Amino acid sequence: MNCQKCRTPLKLDSSLKDLNPAAFDLLVGSAGHSNDQATSTSRVPYPHERKELFNQVAQHATSSVFKRTIPAARQGFGPQPAVAASTKAGLKDNPAMSFVMLTDSQIVPPQHTSDDYEETRKNKDSREAHSAANETSNDPKQTLSHQIESTTRLFEILSSHSDIDHPICAECTDLLLSQLQNRLSASTKERDAYITFLKTLNNTIPSSSEISKAQASLASSRAAEAQAFSELLALEKEKAALDDEVATLEAEALALDDEEQAFWRSRNAFALTLSSFQDDRDALNAAYDHDAQQLERLELTNVYNDTFCIYHDGPFATINGLRLGRLPPQLNVDWSEINAAWGTAALLLATVAEKLGFVFQGYRIKPMGSTSRIERIEQGSSASRQSSSGKATNSAPNPNTHQEPQQPKITPLDLFSSGDLPLGRMLLHRRLDAGMVAFLECLRQLCDFVEQSSHHVAHSSNLPIIERGSPASDAKVAKLKVPYSITKDRIGDPEKPDLIASIKLGVSQDDAWTRACKYTLTCCKFLLACASNVGWVGQRK
């Protein structure tokens, strides 16, 4: 046996092993009588009307779907009805029986009241207990299985008469007692509360005046309720109208939402287009600013000054770092450097003339580096020579005489020297002197052309050009003036005759020739500035 609560193995009392039928009946009967006495002696905790309603419903109720029953006894532990056995045997042994006849009592179970059911159950339990006790007393040599079976049936009968499953151990019994005691205390408190409430109700029975006042208040409340109900109906109608209006407004709101979405989509598309246009504008502005800066930088760039850099190195004038002049024996310059300087000066003069559109009269410059030359062009007069010879032989002109075309005479003049010849000898530098004199002549022609056209250039560029040595207030626009005047082979400031020097190397000393070369490069720088100014004016136009 195990406890039905905690499933702990139990050791049964020795008194339960040798139960006679009287003791067995006493235990079963005491459990049933205790329940009946408790039911009869205890106060009914519910109204009498509910009891009558229960009895009325129980009379018309069918058998329960699930009902707790006691299992039947094994063979040898209880009587078996002979009729039932024979019926079952007959039904089982007759194979031709294909159907069974059911009476009305078998189709519809008999209806019993609760008292009849309790009495029937008690009689059945008593008969089973008597049969079990008789069988136990008739067999003196009962086995352990018989004892267990009888004990089990005893506990099942006890469990069927109460809400507690038997057997239970001592600890579970104590816990069960404490729980039942708590339930009893709670039921007692609830009973006292109901009694107190009942007394309060009995003490507060309203009088006739109070009842009349309550009825008048009830009538007024019902009238107010009717009025409120009518108002509620009116409000519901108004609410229905408002709901319709709200639905219409919601439809309009949805339409406005769609329009708003369309507007925002168009606005976003316009913003994207505007942003792309602004980006293009910013890119164009940036490109314009860059090009403007580049143009300004290019306008300030002077390609002539970068190509031909004229400066000085002590007493020498330099062009692109090449010294032009000699001061032996302290400052002796190689002829290769001098030849290169003259070649660069010839290239400068030819470039400026081409820039200004000027053609030299009687000369043609051939810049070829350290072996540069100047060609002197002399126009022939063969016709004049023929006419003079004809006067001597025959004074009458012959119309049939064919005149030969004039062929110019070209004489190359060197702007370089080998340097093998001694410098002290005058006649050994005639070719170089002739070339330098021709260079001065070309320089003079180009300076005269610049002076003549300076007035037009000044007006076109809107820049006042002040004449050398004259105050700025003499005229708004003055003509250009060459820094040094040139007369054949001599160059210098007319106001300082002592400083005028000859470009011929055979005539001048080394210091005078070096000074003449310096004056020559100064005039070249003047022409270079004029060419840059003319180019700037052309760009401004």
What are the pLDDT digits (tens) for 79-123?
Answer: 444 333 334 444 444 444 444 454 544 444 455 455 555 566 666
What are the pLDDT digits (tens) for 268-297?
Answer: 999 999 999 999 999 999 999 999 999 998
- Give the strand pairing for 485-487 and 490-492: antiparallel
Three-state DSSP class for residue 209: helix
In which band, very low, low, confident or very high, does the pLDDT at 265 lie, cut at 50, 70 and 90?
very high
Q: What is the pLDDT of residue 129?
A: 54
Burial class (CB in 10 A: 0-12, 13-18, 19+), 90: exposed
In which band, very low, low, confident or very high, does the pLDDT at 440 lie, cut at 50, 70 and 90?
very high
Whether the CB-CB separation of 472 and 464 falls below 8 Å is answered with: yes
- Give the strand pairing for 490-492 and 501-502: antiparallel
Whether the CB-CB separation of 166 and 4 falls below 8 Å is answered with: yes
298-307 contacts, C-beta under 8 A, 24 or more apart: 299/536, 299/539, 302/532, 304/351, 304/352, 304/528, 304/531, 304/532, 304/535, 305/528, 305/532, 307/351
Mean pLDDT over each residue of the chain, to the nearest integer: 75
* Pick from 501, 506, 504, 490: nearest CA to 423: 506
Q: What is the pLDDT of residue 120?
A: 62
In which band, very low, low, confident or very high, does the pLDDT at 386 lie, cut at 50, 70 and 90?
very low
- Cα 380 to Cα 148, 377, 386, 408, 477: the distances in Å are 170, 10, 12, 5, 43
What are the pLDDT digits (tens) for 457-506?
Answer: 455 544 444 344 444 434 333 467 888 999 888 998 888 888 888 888 77
Rounded CA separation 294/14 (Å): 127
What are the pLDDT digits (tens) for 498-513?
Answer: 888 888 877 667 788 8
Whether the CB-CB separation of 131 and 75 falls below 8 Å is answered with: no
pLDDT at 41 over 80: no
Q: What is the pLDDT of residue 294?
A: 93
Give mean pLDDT, residues 408-436.
75
Q: What is the pLDDT of residue 74?
A: 47
Rounded CA separation 228/398 (Å): 152
Contacts of 469 (CB under 8 A, 6+ apart): 481, 495
pLDDT at 77 over 70: no
What are the pLDDT digits (tens) for 173-210?
Answer: 899 899 999 999 999 999 999 999 999 888 888 888 88
pLDDT at 350 over 90: yes
Give pTM, 2 decimals. Answer: 0.44
